[in-house]
Amino acid sequence: MEALTRKDLMPLERYAEERPAFRARVMAHKRNRQIAIGAHARLYFEDRLTIQYQIQEMLRIEKIFEVAEIEDELRAYNPLIPDGANWKATFMLEYEDVAERRTALARLGGVAQRTYVQVGALARVYAVADEDMGRENEDKTSSVHFLRFDLARDMVVRAQAGDPIICGIDHPAYKDEVQLTPAQRAALVADLA
């Protein structure tokens, strides 16, 4: 997928006018890109449209209109767009209860690196996590991580051919996996070149 440029972004005034319709379109698009793995983990697979929305929202919230600052946002977010041979996702550990979340994050160190995708009978692909910055220490992991799943060419071919796709976690304190629905599968296969 192509990186976003300033030409792909709406000026703040236009975005304010078009935001309700654009947001509705993006939320519908995101529906099949969210994969729950068990009760407390979720992958939000990113693509060009989801990242465009994130940038537009940052520009709106921060009231950014200077060229250099817009370019900074593009540099920060463009790496989250898949390149046709990988999937990129925001990984979230979701616990509503604060005490439960604190306890879970303390025992889930390394969970991001134990998150995987699998295409058909091919080997699991474990995530490359948090390339932008470390998100855990010896005491706990973060509730948000940024992941990249690099796919070999045969995985791309098998995914495009219709093989099932599984997302899972293989961590001593959290083990679960889920096979993607046909709609979820189609959304992710559309990211592959």
Distance of CA 129 to the CA centre of its chain: 11
Of the candidate ranges 12-26, 98-112, 122-136, 152-166, the one whose mean pLDDT is the lowest: 122-136
- Sequence-distant (6+) residues with CB within 8 A of 141 are 93, 105, 108, 109, 110, 111, 112, 135
- Tokens for 114? 């134990």
Which has more confidence, 135 or 187?
A: 187
pTM of the model: 0.91
Residue-wise pLDDT tens digits, 55-85: 999 999 999 999 999 999 999 999 999 999 9
Structure tokens at 78: 């463009």
Helix (H, G, I), strand (E, B) or coil at 70: helix
d(CA 6, CA 8): 5
Q: Please, what sign has the CA dihedral across residues 57, 58, 62, 63?
A: negative
9 to 2, 14, 55, 150, 175: CA distances (angstroms): 14, 10, 8, 28, 40
Rounded Cα distance between 24 and 30, Å, is 10
Report whether pLDDT(159) > 90: yes
pLDDT tens digits, residue range 86-121?
999 999 999 999 999 999 999 999 999 999 999 999
Amino acid 139: pLDDT:
77
- Quick one: pLDDT at residue 138? 74
Residue 188 forms beta bridges with which residues? none
